[in-house]
Structure 1
Amino acid sequence: ALRLNQSQPAVSLALKRLRTILGDPLLVREKSGMVPTERALALLSHAKGALAEIDRMTFAPESFEPQTSRYEFRVGAPDYLAPMFISSVVERIRKEAPHLRLSLQSLGPNFDFERSLAEGDLDVVIGNWPEPPHRMHLSMLLEDEIVCLVGAGHPLARKGFTADDYQRAVHVVPMPYSMSQRGVIDTVLATHRLNRDERVVVQSFTMAPYLLQHSDLVFTTTRHFAQFYADLLPLVILPSPIPFPTMRFYQLWHERNHLSPAHRWIRRLLADCGKQIKPGS
């Protein structure tokens, strides 16, 4: 009642009307308090989308002034883009829109980013998919070469690196951030019927380089990510012996934000930052 700025009797009366109209109790009492029914949870996603659309129609400005705007953009992206890409995005935003707020959401296997875009919880999602979701608007942001990263004392750092070496090696791999399809690296390995020994699995990409320093692990990743940590830690970048294609990163957005001046501005800024990153540079 307090959050709705309504009295308790008014909220109770509204709930009673909804229960009558929908033929469902919507909220039931448990030991921990009132909890929603399955019907209420199903309705919630539709209600959030409808309310977000009404807000955008009612309050969306006709123009966007980045220098004075206090808008909040919500962007979903894998954490391995932070060193090479997100850092440049933040730098640009601080210069061009100093009052703007940026909320970054990490992607994970249990995170439904398509639903978050549809319901307005996220404005843009950035990632690499062999087959980008076709239900959203998208544009390609950048491409990057796939390489292997090892500790400076790794035997492979001092000899040639072959496909057989790759299969015999022990690997550290990140958890996938999409359960709907394989990542680019796994797709290529499956296509060539190659197996790798995935001995260590990490939830965060940024954890992997630190595990390479004093181990025999191999990490397959993008060149710009690898270069950042090779400059920071005693690590060596090796050309991949597997013919991986360049990894393509896209930005996705929902139709609800397609024509918004503010969202057009942030998408252009993301695209500009992506153009500064060249494969293999």
Structure 2
Amino acid sequence: MRDQVLFDKIDLHLIRVLHTVLTERSVSRAALKLGMYQPAVSASLKRLRELAGDPLLVRSGAGMVPTDAGLRMIEPSASILRAAQVLFSDARGFEPQADATTFRVAAADYLDPHFLPQLVSQVKQLAPRSQIEIHPLTAASDYHTQLAQGEVDVVVGNWLKPPEELHLGKLFSDQIVCMVSREHPAAKRGWTPEEWLEAEHIAPTPTHPGARGVIDEYLEGQGLVRNITARCPHFGLLPRMVASSLLVLTTGRQFCERYASMLPVQILECPVPFPDLVYYQLWHERTHQSAAGRWLRERVKSVAASLKPS
């Protein structure tokens, strides 16, 4: 009975104030973000403290920090707000010019250096009131959980075997090639498969714990191992590292060609035959029927198609 009484006192606006205050860690910043007067936010926080039986936000030095109870409320409150957004936006359909929707895309920058900039540009042009967040694919990220919990809406990348438990859409295929400095010996005389394996390679930092990436996963299946002597989490920096060293970058031709005219590098055929890289977008059942989710996936598909070499 007590829980029902508490529930009857909570509305969606109060949840929004709760989440904003806890994430901003400031009543004044929360008021600005919510478009409210600070005394009104303070009054709402007082109600929330009474309902929770906890201060939720306490002073620490010159700032404020959430209590343990407050920290535990951040994700549930975000989940409630996301669910409410989907509930009402999908009930009336998605109107790009009018709706204020937040889109969240997780992607590495190895697809094409123009992909993310053009995706952001297209989303903002067609849905001017929307917000778009780009999340990195890093060793610390778990995109399965992020998709399931609504932290991201779409994940873009390549996989030798895409995860079967997620929905996927193929974007395009690309030939695997090598990028080397023009001063690299292979640029002048070519190389054998053995020489390629023994050369010093640079590779991206794995996108999640235990990941090897499609190049090394395929090589392992062939009983082969290449000599990786450098790793970097920022794929867009790899071409410049290659240009000033004898390192070898093996990746998609489309990515390499974006840099071929900008840097003293050369694109070589890989002496070890690889299947094409296949790029996908992945999404969860949670957003499969979402009108806004479908619209976002169409934008991803459209931008990827516009970048594909003819």
TM-score of the two chains, using structure 2 as the length reference: 0.75
Question: Residue type matched to 1:36 in 2?
Answer: D
Q: Tell which has more relative contact order, 1 or 2 (C-alpha 8 A, sep 6+).
A: 1
Partner of 2:10: none
Bigger CA drift: 257-266 or 97-106?
A: 97-106
Counterpart contact for 2:216–2:225, Cα < 8 Å:
no
**Shift in Å at residue 238 of structure 1?**
0.5
Counterpart contact for 1:143–1:277, Cα < 8 Å:
no
Question: Residue type matched to 1:54 in 2?
Answer: A
Q: What pairs with 1:188-203 in structure 2 (closer than 5 Å)?
A: 188-203=218-233
**Shift in Å at residue 145 of structure 1?**
1.1
Q: What CA distance in whole angstroms lies between the structure 1 residues aligned with 2:129 and 2:45? A: 37
Partner of 1:119: 149
Structure 2 SS opposite 1:109 = coil
Q: What CA distance in whole angstroms lies between the structure 2 residues aligned with 1:134 and 1:26? A: 41
Matched, 1:260 2:290: yes
Identity of aligned residues (%): 35
Residues 1:36 and 1:27: Cα distance change in structure 2 (over 3 Å)? farther
Residues 1:148 and 1:94: Cα distance change in structure 2 (over 3 Å)? same
> Among 27, 36, 52, which residue is 1:15 paired with?
52
> Among 196, 200, 204, which residue is 1:166 paired with?
196
Residues 1:8 and 1:238: Cα distance change in structure 2 (over 3 Å)? closer
Q: What CA distance in whole angstroms lies between the structure 1 residues aligned with 2:281 and 2:214? A: 16
Name the structure with the higher helix share: 2
Deviations 1:134-177 (A, max 9, x none): 33221111111111000111111011221111122111111011
**Shift in Å at residue 271 of structure 1?**
1.8
**Shift in Å at residue 86 of structure 1?**
2.9
Q: What CA distance in whole angstroms lies between the structure 2 residues aligned with 1:99 and 1:28? A: 34
Q: What CA distance in whole angstroms lies between the structure 2 residues aligned with 1:110 and 1:187? A: 20
**Shift in Å at residue 233 of structure 1?**
0.5
Question: Residue type matched to 2:133 in 1?
Answer: S
Deviations 1:19-47 (A, max 9, x none): 8xxxxx9999999955427x974x76555
Question: Residue type matched to 1:13 in 2?
Answer: E
Q: Which runs of 5+ in 1 are unaligned?
A: 20-24
Matched, 1:71 2:71: no
Q: What CA distance in whole angstroms lies between the structure 1 residues aligned with 2:82 and 2:45? A: 25
Counterpart contact for 1:213–1:235, Cα < 8 Å:
yes
Root-mean-square deviation (CA), in Å? 3.1
Partner of 1:271: 301
Partner of 1:36: 68
Q: What pairs with 1:83-162 in structure 2 (closer than 5 Å)?
A: 83-93=113-123, 95-162=125-192
**Shift in Å at residue 99 of structure 1?**
4.7
Counterpart contact for 2:180–2:247, Cα < 8 Å:
yes
Question: Residue type matched to 1:79 in 2?
Answer: D
Q: What CA distance in whole angstroms lies between the structure 1 residues aligned with 2:47 and 2:124? A: 45
Q: How many residues matched?
A: 271
**Shift in Å at residue 269 of structure 1?**
2.3
Q: Which runs of 5+ in 2 are unaligned?
A: 1-20, 22-26, 31-40
